[in-house]
Structure 1
Amino acid sequence: MNSENFKIISVSSNFIKIEVIDPTLFENQFNIGSYIKIPYKNINTKYVVGIIENYNIKDKNFTESNGGKEDTPTSDPSFVLEVKLIGTISKNGINDIFERGGHGIPLPPNNGIELLNEGELNNIYSGKISPNNKFCFSKLVQNIQIDVPVNGNKFFNKHFAIVGSTGSGKSHTVAKILQEAINAKAGDFKGLNNSHVVIFDIHGEYKTAFPSANYIDINNLILPYWLLNSEELEELFIETETNDHNQRSAFQESITSNKKIKSNLYSELKGKLNYDSPTFFDLSEILIYFKNRNNEVKNKSNDIEWNDLEGSPFIFNEETNHKLFTGILKPLEKGTSTGTQNAKFINFISRLEIKLNDRRLDFLLGEAAKKISFFDTIKQFIGYPCKLENNGANIDKTESNVTIIDLGGIPFEVLSITVSLISRILFEYGYQATKLSRQKDECEVPLLLVYEEAHKYVPKSDLVKFRASKNAIERIAKEGRKYGVTLAIVSQRPSEISDTIFSQCNNFVTMRLTNPEDQNYVKRLLPDTLGNLTDSLSTLQSGEALIIGEAIALPSLVKINLCTPEPKSSDIKYFEIWKEAWNDANIENVIKLWQK
């Protein structure tokens, strides 16, 4: 390439303009997005690097005086390239060393301009990433021969987001990233690597992409209610009423007491049990407790007096309240309800009975949820083998890098609580595991939690129905990285996601966004130095993305590599199916499945 055919005609702090004097000497050698290098003063080993963002066409014979009249002789135009400066590249005879920023064009500027060759591009993207940290899932849009690796440690140990409109290739991108992660190995060992990924899959897309994953859906999910914290318990069982403070107080008292009764822990720890302690309590006995409290009356001494199951009288207090869990008791035959909870828990009892009898909530409130151990609860979510029992059927969970939690069948009214409880369990596991680490920064089992359609769990909305999951995931966003628990936020509506979540993300894979509100929201999150790169968000093809963040050498437009196998996210071929012969749908089987 004849570098003398380039001429620098304008210089600013971040941009330069370069005139291509005779464009006929070039044929498909550069275009928008191409990288160029400019010699730095008289140093033949250092260059300023820029990316072509725009170009203008300049007619040499057009002047202000002639006004571009038709009778003016014409000639071939020249082109003026607008180049965004991104850094410098230094050659040391072995590798090219790329540094972002700190560029500048000294006076007078040199015209020895050239396009970066493939070797230089490879060094820009890979030069500062050690082979052990190199993680690649895409290629450069401008040159698909160039791999665009990211620093695997910086990509996964800090939260990242993948956003894009429907049809932009989000699910394929998620699948490709995770497939590359679980297949990576530091050595020749056989079997699984030590990756642990939990996917919250609301549309059932990822089962086909990870056939060896532990797949959990409404039919085999066992989630013990007794691990719910106080906020989640009250959101599930208590509605706001004029006397809800009485319900909350009695609810807390009953659960705390029942945990102490049911606990097999040694005495010194037993005394520390509280409302939020992750230990078993019997919800059926809580119901009995409230039915008894709902019938209480006072004697002449203002004591609440009962007869136990053997007919022996006792006064209700902290030492005797355990008897109210044993069965329906007989209150004092004559007494007053004044100053008691008599008849104040009718609505609460009715609501609790409805929840306990709702077969849709068996995964959370049923017998299997009572029997599962804390140990097996953790193991089923982080991919370790365990044996579970659900409705008389044995469920064997095998060792797997990926656990897919299909949320499609979870009733909407408990979706937030379900996501909150699982997320919080995994965060607490990471927190406690870090305490046992032998070294300060050691983590035996780092976890990645992938939230598909994240705007459904952590929206900007302050509605109570989103509070549980929002609080749990926001806590992970703010603290999880220190304990080996990171987030992958996937969404087609980034503008609807909690600002707290996105503000904690250090890397973004931004695909095509067609909604102007989403485009503007993402642009505000990204660095101002990206220039016109963000203007391409609405025109990206399926599978193309803009990668930005600490993990990549410089912001880049890439083509995501194909994943194998693919997630089940392809569009239904409406018109092709419509053109086929009439199909008698099996409506009866659909209804049977619906009614399960």
Structure 2
Amino acid sequence: MLNEDLQTSAKAGNHDRRDAQTAGNRMLGRVIFCSGSKARISVTTDSANPSFAQLWSVGRLISIDLGETRVAALTYAMNVDGPLWSEREPNTLLIDVELLGEIYSTPEGIEQFTSGITRYPYLGAIAHRIRSSDLVRIYENSARGSCIIGQLSQDQSVDAIVNIPEMLSKHFAVVGSTGVGKTTAVTLLLNKAIEKDPKLRVLVLDPHNEFAAAFPNTSVVIDTDTLDLPFWLMKLEEFTEVLFRGQEPPADELDVLRDLIPEAKRAFRGTDASTMRRASEKTALTADTPVPYRIADLLALIDERIGRLEGRGEKPVLRTLKLRIMAAINDPRYHFMFSNSTISDTIMETVAHIFRVPGDGKPISVFQLAGIPSEVVNSVASVLCRMAFELALWGQGSIHTLVVCEEAHRYVPANPGLGFFPTRQAIARIAKEGRKYGVSLGIITQRPGELDQTILSQCSTVFAMRLSNDNDQEIIRSAISNSST
């Protein structure tokens, strides 16, 4: 189907848009400067038709004719060679372009585009409006897994094509100000992705509950009413984020939890504590080991310490910690963590439900975070991203998972002192190592300037929409290899 579409799109290039009937297409320029990666073109406009200057406007591709090859260049700046625009006399425009690649003919006579340049423009080389056939050569992609996502703004007869496997293997980002259509773009990309790869499983972290309606037939919606995310899956740092409501935990209370949680896990397993202590490091339990335990056992261990004659100085600390735990388990907003169904070892059921294994025709899991208490969101996001990576690691690449983070600057902010470190660590691990094991990352943000630039730099495909903030624009320019990306 894609090849047929490309053949249809290629018909746009059967006619030369620089025909004699369109006067603006006769407007030629000359190269007056070239630095290797950039060039400047001088163009003289017709005073009777000044609107022809729009053919050279910012963002448009133009062609520089070198005889055997044609260099494709992107306009990124333009100016008038003089202080004012003349309404009566011809105006000379200075067009700054970035050199993207060249179109050449193979020995078989087939025209192809390459991003490399073997012959650079010389001074005086003729520049003109690019042919539609050249646009087709530049943007065509017939590789397996490619799909059409729209049309070029410069020429509506030429399709915009994305290679889904390549996009997912190297991560992607969608950036743009509020209201420019990021959700619509992501919906299109995900629908195309699951269409091309039926084995793909998608987890969407949705802080505004926007994506449920976008995938009515291919997704399951997970919220606090349908979620059972056992508290014992959390590492100590994630668990304390919940107990202390996002505040820095006191060191003495943290030490108590670090000592007693492994004891509670041993009690649940019915194993003698002294035997466990003699076990090898490989089988020893820590506060971070994902092994079930009961909150009742943890509270009993705290009561046992309180009842001891020694250690009177720590009794206020123990009582305060006990009150924190009881407040959390009695809070109805935390029911998805501390309900009776989260006590048993349900990790396989939890993973299967969240990551759609098997998918049962619904490979997308929309995780609605809006109903989760704000102080718990960071911990939940951390657990989910960590589980996504570990699932891919355990599956040895047999399960391809895509984690989509909406409002990603909340989880991985540019300032290392902000945000929740375990969440940042989990997302960074996917960004840096995920492609080895088949887990991909999709970043969505309206403020790329507030996003960790290390994460953004790992996204080889960037869909940049309108950005109103100058700093955000500069961040995107520095994060991609050239202006055309």
Which residue is 1:550 aligned to?
A: none
**1:237 Cα deviation from its structure 2 partner:** 3.2
Which residue is 1:475 aligned to?
A: 429
Change (3 A) 1:238 1:30: closer
Question: Match for 1:210: what amino acid?
Answer: F
Which residue is 2:205 aligned to?
A: 200
Superposition map of 1:109-124 within 5 A: 109-111=124-126, 113-124=127-138
Q: Say if 2:206 is the partner of 1:184.
A: no
Which residue is 2:10 aligned to?
A: none
Which residue is 2:478 aligned to?
A: 524
RMSD: 3.5
Indicate which of 120, 127, 136 corresponds to 1:105.
Answer: 120
**1:460 Cα deviation from its structure 2 partner:** 3.5
Change (3 A) 1:240 1:485: closer
Contact 2:144 2:163 in 1 (8 A): no
Change (3 A) 1:5 1:510: closer
Q: Say if 2:268 is the partner of 1:262.
A: yes
**1:84 Cα deviation from its structure 2 partner:** 3.2
Contact 2:207 2:368 in 1 (8 A): yes
Which residue is 1:542 aligned to?
A: none
**1:500 Cα deviation from its structure 2 partner:** 3.1
Which whole-Å CA distance do the structure 1 matches of 2:308 and 2:336 have between them?
A: 33
Contact 1:139 1:148 in 2 (8 A): yes
Q: Say if 2:163 is the partner of 1:151.
A: yes
Which residue is 1:37 aligned to?
A: 63
Which whole-Å CA distance do the structure 2 matches of 1:450 and 1:125 have between them?
A: 26
Which whole-Å CA distance do the structure 1 matches of 2:178 and 2:249 have between them?
A: 46
Superposition map of 1:14-33 within 5 A: 14-20=38-44, 30-32=55-57, 33=59
**Greater percentage in helix:** 2
Which whole-Å CA distance do the structure 2 matches of 1:245 and 1:69 have between them?
A: 73
- CA-to-partner distance for each residue in 1:329-370, whole Å, 9 max, x for gaps? xxxxxxxx3577545411011111111111110101111222
Question: Match for 1:16: what amino acid?
Answer: R
Residue ranges of structure 1 left out of the alignment (5+ in a row): 186-192, 298-336, 386-396, 435-442, 531-553, 556-596
Which residue is 1:224 aligned to?
A: 230
Which whole-Å CA distance do the structure 2 matches of 1:460 and 1:38 have between them?
A: 40
Superposition map of 1:317-466 within 5 A: 337=310, 341-371=314-344, 373-384=346-357, 398-434=360-396, 443-461=397-415, 466=420
User: TM-score, normalised to structure 2's length?
Assistant: 0.82
Change (3 A) 1:453 1:241: closer
Question: Match for 1:374: what amino acid?
Answer: I
**1:184 Cα deviation from its structure 2 partner:** 2.1
Contact 2:414 2:453 in 1 (8 A): yes
Change (3 A) 1:235 1:11: same
Contact 2:44 2:91 in 1 (8 A): no
Change (3 A) 1:488 1:415: same
Contact 1:158 1:481 in 2 (8 A): yes
Which whole-Å CA distance do the structure 2 matches of 1:87 and 1:501 have between them?
A: 28
Which whole-Å CA distance do the structure 2 matches of 1:245 and 1:446 have between them?
A: 40
Change (3 A) 1:409 1:182: same
- CA-to-partner distance for each residue in 1:144-165, whole Å, 9 max, x for gaps? 2211213323211122211111
Q: Say if 2:32 is the partner of 1:10.
A: yes
Indicate which of 76, 87, 107 corresponds to 2:101.
Answer: 87
Identity %: 27
Number of residue pairs aligned between Structure 1 and Structure 2: 451
Which whole-Å CA distance do the structure 2 matches of 1:465 and 1:283 have between them?
A: 28
Q: Report the secondary structure of 1:513's partner residue.
A: coil
Q: Report the secondary structure of 2:285's partner residue.
A: coil
Change (3 A) 1:83 1:376: same
Change (3 A) 1:16 1:290: same
**1:255 Cα deviation from its structure 2 partner:** 1.8
Q: Say if 2:258 is the partner of 1:252.
A: yes
Question: Match for 1:118: what amino acid?
Answer: S
Which residue is 2:454 aligned to?
A: 500
Contact 2:164 2:196 in 1 (8 A): no
User: TM-score, normalised to structure 1's length?
Assistant: 0.68
Which whole-Å CA distance do the structure 1 matches of 2:419 and 2:135 have between them?
A: 49
